[in-house]
Amino acid sequence: MITVNEALDHLFSLVTPLDTEEVPLIRAAGRVLAADAVARRDQPPFAASAMDGYAVDGSAVRPGAQFTVIGEAAAGHGFEGRVGTGQAVRIFTGAPVPDGADRIVIQEDVTREGERITLGDDLGDNTHLRPAGADFRTGDRITAPRILGPADIALLASMNVAHVRVTRKPQVALISTGDELVMPGEEPGPDQIIASNTFGLKAMLDGMGAEARILPIARDTRASLEAAFDLARGADLVVTIGGASVGDHDLVGDVTESLGMQRAFYKVRMRPGKPLMAGRMGGAAMIGLPGNPVSAIVCGHVFLAPAIRAMLGLGAESAPRLSARLAHDLPRGGPREHYMRADVRDGTIAPAERQDSALLSVLAGANALMIRPADDAPRKAGDVIDYLPL
């Protein structure tokens, strides 16, 4: 059986960064920037006031100094003239600072009578002025690749970049397999359960910038599975769930082989997730996940997420790990790398008591997958151990 890292390397060789498309800014949040975006202007485009007050020549500012107000500068309406000796312009936040002025005295520090102002005693030395280009200048760049968050979107808008080039969304087809499954909301028979894995995986995939399609459940017959693969045409990645193991009704391996899949690997030395398979089928990458709900979601974090990031042009990297101190002693580990549902709090990590790969409630209550290497020696409380944050 191959290791998790070997399986990941195979997976990265099955996927490539996708082509790109241009989208309006309003559609760009969460997308991956695929080409540098370049500022089309300076911000601010002029020296601007940071406060409401009076614009004056800073060299004349001292307690008790007097000025004559000769006009007004507001945001969107600058003052056309020049501020001369002994003169001031009433100014508001965001307005262009008029020629001849290089300091704003805030209105709290001023007494005004008619057009005459007198400065107070405690003026400080802040000029309350934002120089032109203080935020960014024409030609400044936001470099690709980068997942565009709200601050990036605001910055792009401010740069007057209305369209950006992003990586196309990976199209993922999700196929549940099994006679026991019905969709949420349907009435299950006495031997049936509700399909959950496709829903959890779709949430994960859509959340990271892919577009996942849940296909109709494939029944445990070759014809039904073949029909599902037919519906998956056009996807960049086809993911099956269940039917991957060695039982008489586990058909995914056989059917994909007869449909021409070039298999890269089958079975990984990990727990949960052992009966994982992957390869290329038609124009798509194919990953067969084990059916146990926690196995499918754990494989989603460990394999699907890095594969999607690679397709989005974000590089071929395993899921980022953090580390914490063990809350209590652990006995010797097993022969497979073990991804244990765990709770991290204040730098300490405690694995959940129950680790059966069918227990979704335990997964939903966890905030980390603690990683015990294969054949891990017994551990002591306080030992540092890696985990994937959930």
Ligand X SMILES: Nc1nc2c(c(=O)[nH]1)N[C@H]1C(S)=C(S)[C@@H](COP(=O)(O)OP(=O)(O)OC[C@H]3O[C@@H](n4cnc5c(N)ncnc54)[C@H](O)[C@@H]3O)O[C@H]1N2
CA 282 to chain centre: 30
What distance in Å separates the CA atoms of residue 167 and residue 305, rounded to the nearest whole number? Answer: 16
Residues from 347 through 376 that contact ligand X (CB under 6 A): 357
- Nearest-angstrom CA–CA distance, 91 and 316: 53
Q: Which of 152, 180, 236, 337 binds ligand X (CB under 6 A)?
A: 180
What character string, x for contact with ligand MOO (CB under 6 A) and - otherwise, covers 316-355? ----------------------------------------
The structure tokens listed for 254 are: 């056989």
* Alpha-carbon distance values, 277 to 252, 294, 301 (Å): 9, 16, 15
Pick between residue 156 and residue 298 the one whose CB is nearest to ligand MOO: 298
> How far is 214 from 217, CA to CA, in rounded Å?
9
Please tell me whether residue 269 binds ligand MOO under the rule CB under 6 A: no
Residues 6+ apart with CB under 8 A from 174: 198, 201, 202, 205, 212, 213, 214, 215, 239, 241
256 binds ligand MOO (CB under 6 A): no
Where does this chain touch ligand MOO (CB under 6 A) — which range of 121-129, 205-213, 231-239, 290-298?
Answer: 290-298
Nearer residue to ligand X within complex by CB, 55 or 340:
340
CB of 298 to ligand MOO, least distance (A): 8
- By CB under 6 A, name the one of 44, 53, 273, 279 that touches ligand MOO: 273
Q: Which of the 8 DSSP states describes residue 108?
A: G
Interacting residue with ligand MOO among 17, 98, 272, 279 (CB under 6 A): 272
User: Using the rule CB under 6 A, is 197 a contact of ligand X?
Assistant: yes
Taking a C-beta distance cutoff of 8 angstroms, is the pair 19, 168 a contact? yes
Q: What gap in Å lies between CA 158 and CA 6, rounded to an integer? A: 45
Provide, rounded to whole angstroms, the least separation between the CB of residue 198 and ligand X.
6
Q: Which of residues 119-138 bind ligand MOO (CB under 6 A)?
A: none
Should residue 274 be labelled a site residue for ligand MOO when binding is judged by CB under 6 A? Answer: yes
Best CA proximity match to 333, nearest among 373, 275, 274 = 373
The site for ligand X (CB under 6 A) is made up of: 176, 178, 180-181, 193, 195-198, 241-247, 250, 272, 274-275, 290-293, 295, 357
